[in-house]
Chain A
Amino acid sequence: MKYKYSIDNKICTFCSGCSSVCPTMAIIIKDNFAEINDKCIGCDRCNKFCPVSAVNKSEVS
């Protein structure tokens, strides 16, 4: 099963913590903007890290 990861910009505190644990530099965080790009390999580290649970994981077929 494959998952697609995204960041809920309404919950995110833009701390860049997930970006620090991301092994592929797939996460771009600016002041009020967070995005996971297609470099994502689905390792789930950002999701496990996020203190405020702003990372969404959805199934893709």
Chain B
Amino acid sequence: MKYDIVIVGASLAGLYSAIKLSKNNFKVCIIDKKEHIGLPIRCGEATGNLKELERFFKMEPDWISQEIKGMSAHINGEEALAHEMDDLGVILNRDKFEQGLADKATSQGANLILNTYVTNLIKTGDKYSGVKLENGETVEGNLIIGADGAEAHIGQMAGIVKSLPSSEVATTLQYTIKSKKYNNGHLHFFIGSKSMPKGYIWVFPKDKDHVSVGGALYGINRKMPKIKKFVDDFVNEYYSDCPKDNLITGAIPITICPKEFVKDNVIIVGDSARMVNPLTAGGIMNTFEAADMMCDAIIKSKPSNYSNKIISKHYSKKWAKMPRFQQKVFYLFKELVLDSSDEELLKTCNAAGKVASIIDRDKPFQFSLSAYYYPFKIYLWRALKLIGILFR
């Protein structure tokens, strides 16, 4: 069977691209190794606000669990920052969200193949022309989109990205816990040398009676205990008598994305293109933004028989210019924060409180300047040392 576009990975990037491309009359096939769309959930489920999400599609009420009311930071158990804020973001019902997106894509004619592993790319001449499935069948397409998450097998097979190096991957682990403790609609972050060195523990609201308690450890280090120990210690201290279930784990790229996302008719997007914010390890909004840009580039490239040059111009090069995605700045902050003493973290939280109180939502530029200024003031001497990262 021959398609215009073959998408590997039916999660956010893949499904959104399928919706947008099938709407523009492309023949699309999506392939995923999972048996069920959206399950099991492997996500903290917090993301940007409704206004931002609705730039991409209309959000159905059951896709969202609740709105985020604010943000709190705790250093070694002591509250260091608590800030109420409107429009900060929402907590998704990620399974229903993805299923809703999949329904939309298939209703527009996209073909969805589940429970099928893609084993290889097929090359014809100097371009890739399809994928080989585990059952030996092939699916052909003019373009192949690798939206297969942090694994990035498609990107690796095409030689666009490499596997994640030990220092540039965050190990994450999360429980769902039945409790009302810290279930006030805030995103709670626990940092500090005692709670969580080299990372953070989060408590996010899940629904009225449940919270998601998880942790992210930045970088694999033989000398450090594994993330499970930190999260288990935290759960034993704060939620010792609460029922916990649904242990999930994952790997998040905390690196800088490659300069080129397109090669020989293969395009990568989302986690597989390392489009995650390396400071927060959040990636949902970036993924939609990138997938949208990628689809526009594909549409523009159609008259020239999907010229990789045109796709690169309107996708890879355009992405690198977007100030919002200056990953290197966030990467630098990540290095600084991971290297901070508890005292410096407290100063940062106080500064963040000040920044938050003067944010003018209508002037995002002003926000970004002040948001960068305060941490730089605190870390100036170290920032100078690390500034080389910006030129990497």
Instruction: Give chain B residues whose Cβ lies under 8 Å from the Cβ of A13.
Output: 247-249
Rounded to whole angstroms, the CA-CA distance of A27 and B169 in the bound complex is: 17
Q: How many residues of A contact B (CB 8 A)?
A: 22
- Are A23 and B162 touching (Cβ within 8 A)? yes
- Are A16 and B162 touching (Cβ within 8 A)? no
Instruction: Give chain A residues whose Cβ lies under 8 Å from the Cβ of B250.
Output: 15-17
Residues in A6-31 with C-beta less than 8 Å from chain B: 13, 15-23, 25, 28-31
Q: State the A residues within 8 Å of B (CB).
A: 13, 15-23, 25, 28-31, 45, 48-53
Nearest residue (CB) in B for A27 is B151
Rounded to whole angstroms, the CA-CA distance of A16 and B252 in the bound complex is: 11
Taking a contact as CB atoms closer than 8 A, the residue among B33, B117, B151, B226 that contacts A51 in the complex is: B226
Instruction: Give chain B residues whose Cβ lies under 8 Å from the Cβ of A18.
Output: 251
Taking a contact as CB atoms closer than 8 A, the residue among A17, A19, A30, A45 that contacts B249 in the complex is: A17
- Are A52 and B247 touching (Cβ within 8 A)? yes
Residue B222 CB within 8 A of the other chain? yes
Rounded to whole angstroms, the CA-CA distance of A15 and B151 in the bound complex is: 10
Rounded to whole angstroms, the CA-CA distance of A30 and B32 in the bound complex is: 10
Instruction: Give chain B residues whose Cβ lies under 8 Å from the Cβ of A48.
Output: 166, 220, 222
In the assembled complex, how far is the CB of residue A12 from the closest CB belonging to chain B, in whole angstroms? 9
Instruction: Give chain A residues whose Cβ lies under 8 Å from the Cβ of B227.
Output: 51
Which 4 residue pairs spanning A and B have beta carbons closest together?
A17-B251, A20-B150, A20-B251, A15-B249
Residue B20 CB within 8 A of the other chain? no
Nearest residue (CB) in A for B215 is A51
Rounded to whole angstroms, the CA-CA distance of A29 and B227 in the bound complex is: 21
Rounded to whole angstroms, the CA-CA distance of A13 and B166 in the bound complex is: 20
Residue B171 CB within 8 A of the other chain? yes
Rounded to whole angstroms, the CA-CA distance of A21 and B176 in the bound complex is: 26
Tell which of A28, A29, A49, A52 has the most Cβ of chain B within 10 Å. Answer: A49
Residue B87 CB within 8 A of the other chain? no
Q: How many residues of B contact A (CB 8 A)?
A: 33
Given contacts A17-B150, A20-B151, is CB(A51)–CB(B249) below 8 Å? yes
- Are A21 and B226 touching (Cβ within 8 A)? no
- Are A51 and B156 touching (Cβ within 8 A)? no
- Are B35 and A51 touching (Cβ within 8 A)? no
Instruction: Give chain A residues whose Cβ lies under 8 Å from the Cβ of B300.
Output: none
Rounded to whole angstroms, the CA-CA distance of A8 and B150 in the bound complex is: 22
Instruction: Give chain B residues whose Cβ lies under 8 Å from the Cβ of A52.
Output: 173, 228, 247, 249
Taking a contact as CB atoms closer than 8 A, the residue among B42, B115, B163, B226 that contacts A20 in the complex is: B163
In the assembled complex, how far is the CB of residue B153 from the closest CB belonging to chain A, in whole angstroms? 6
- Are B117 and A28 touching (Cβ within 8 A)? yes
- Are B171 and A17 touching (Cβ within 8 A)? yes
Given contacts A49-B220, A51-B172, A52-B228, is CB(A16)–CB(B163) below 8 Å? no
Instruction: Give chain A residues whose Cβ lies under 8 Å from the Cβ of B220.
Output: 21, 45, 48-49
Rounded to whole angstroms, the CA-CA distance of A15 and B252 in the bound complex is: 11
Sample of 6 A–B contacts (CB below 8 Å): A15-B248, A21-B166, A21-B251, A49-B220, A52-B228, A52-B249
Instruction: Give chain A residues whose Cβ lies under 8 Å from the Cβ of B165.
Output: 21
In the assembled complex, how far is the CB of residue B94 from the closest CB belonging to chain A, in whole angstroms? 15
- Are B156 and A15 touching (Cβ within 8 A)? no
